[in-house]
Every structure is written in C-alpha cells, then in structure tokens.
Structure 1
C-alpha cells in the first residue's frame, strides 16, 4: 500500500474514503531504563530508546496500512506521526492520514 506525506499522488485520481489511524504504545525493560539513566549522566544517544521509537513508528505505519486496507483503500495520503510520553518509560506513537481509493489507474 502506498503511504505518502503529500496530498497529491502524481498521475492518480482518487476519492477520499476517510481518516485512518495506527497506534502503538511501547516501553523499555528495566535493564534498558537503568542504562538510560547512566547515559543521562554522561550524555549521548540512548540507543535503546531510539530503537524503541523506530520500532514504534514501523508498527504504527503497519497498523495504519492494515486499517486503510480494511476500508478498501489503495493508498494513504497526508500521513503524519504524533507521539507522546505516557510515563517516564512509555511512548505512544500514532500514524494517521487519509485513506483513498483510486478512480483512475495509470
């Protein structure tokens, strides 16, 4: 399924089906949290959290495309991410956009 951050897909006409979402909330384990605490003292990238956010974004996009497919969509346009912390060790990521159905295939 095509997912784009743009409003228009070159060479395609489509009708809007509706909004669609993909949501995930993840947390790191205790060992990763301890490592992050030590890293906070000396500075630098906290790779465990970077990996968690990368995985969260990938899962949110998968859930977004699954929902769009269940709506009969061919693509999702205007895709965006939103994220927030739920607690000090949990992160929620939402991928959202507009599900569309092609009316003319080129």
Structure 2
C-alpha cells in the first residue's frame, strides 16, 4: 500500500478511483500526562507524554486508513492528510484521510 501526500505517484498511472477513505481515532490523556503537562507548562519544554500519545494516535489512524483503502480494492492512497482536533478538553481526535485508488506502473 502506497500512501502519499501528492496527487499522483511518479511512474504510475491511476486505473481506478474508489473515493475518500478515512482512518479515525480519539484518544484521551491519562491522569499522569495531565499532571505532568500542567507542571511542565510552568517551566516550558516538550510535553513528552502528549507527544507520544499523538504519535501513537497518528500511527493508528494511518493504519486504519490503509485498512479501509484495501477493503475498497485500492493499492494506494493519494492526497493523504492528517487533521487533529482537541476533543472536549480531554484528548485528541486524529483523522487520516485521502483518496483511495488503484495504480499500476506506467
């Protein structure tokens, strides 16, 4: 499965477009991360617990995007993007999205 941010893949031809696909996850922060983030905000610096949560969440959303594309018969996703939103002050919603397509070498 090729997943790219571009609208095409050099050396490949799009044979079929299956439409938009999504991978979504919503994650809450644990109490330790919230306390650590509150203390860290006093002195500044990276919020490592939250950074890890967002990294893991993006990986999960990306995997779900790939699964949905495969289920539609695609072998690639074009115009891939992430969107991240805060979820009611308790966590984060991460959405991976793009266009599912079948490509072949040119």
TM range, smaller chain: over 0.9
TM-score of the pair, normalised by structure 2:
0.94
- The answer as to 2:34 corresponding to 1:40 is no
Structure 1: which 4+ aligned runs deviate by more than 6 Å?
none
Task: Report how many aligned residue pairs link the two structures.
Answer: 105
Deviation at 1:87, TM superposition (A): 2.3
Unaligned runs of 5+ in 2: none
- The answer as to 2:11 corresponding to 1:11 is yes
Paired with 2:95 and 2:2, the residues of 1 have a C-alpha distance of 18
Partner of 1:26: 27
TM-score of the pair, normalised by structure 1:
0.94
1:13 partner SS? strand
Paired with 2:7 and 2:32, the residues of 1 have a C-alpha distance of 42
Partner of 1:55: 56
1:81 partner SS? strand
Deviations 1:40-66 (CA, angstroms, capped at 9, x unpaired): 111111000111111111111000000
